[in-house]
Amino acid sequence: MTAVALATALMTVSACKYEDMVPENAPLPAELVRAINANHMGINSPILVRLYKEESDLEIWKQKTDGTYGLLKSYKICAWSGKLGPKTREGDRQAPEGFYTVTPAQLNPNSKYHLAINIGYPNLYDRANGRTGDALMIHGSCNSSGCYAMDDAQVQEIYALARHSFDGGQRAFQIQAYPFRMTPKNMARHKNSDHYAFWQMLKKGSDYFDVTKRPPNVGVCNRSYVFDQDTKTLANLSPTGPCPQIEMAPQVAAKQQQDEVKTEEIAANMAPSEFATSSTFTYRTGEPITAEAYAQEQHRREGFDRTGKRVGGSSGSIFSLFE
Q: What residues act catalytically? A: 139, 147
Helix (H) or strand (E) holding 203: helix 196-212
Q: What letter would DSSP give residue 278?
A: P
Q: What letter would DSSP give residue 41?
A: B
Burial class (CB in 10 A: 0-12, 13-18, 19+), 190: buried
d(CA 77, CA 79): 6
Identify whether the C-beta of residue 221 lies closer than 8 Å to the C-beta of residue 238.
Answer: yes
Calculate the alpha carbon distances from 297 to 6, 224, 294, 306 in Å: 42, 28, 5, 11
**Minimal CA–CA distance to 235: which of 214, 219, 212, 258?**
219
d(CA 132, CA 219): 19
Calculate the alpha carbon distances from 213 to 38, 103, 168, 201 in Å: 18, 21, 20, 18
d(CA 17, CA 13): 8
d(CA 10, CA 20): 15
d(CA 34, CA 37): 5
Ramachandran bin of 312, using left for φ above 0, alpha for ψ from -120 to 50, beta for the remaining angles: left
- Give the distance, in angstroms, between the CA of residue 211 and the centroid of all CA atoms in the same chain: 20
d(CA 68, CA 41): 10
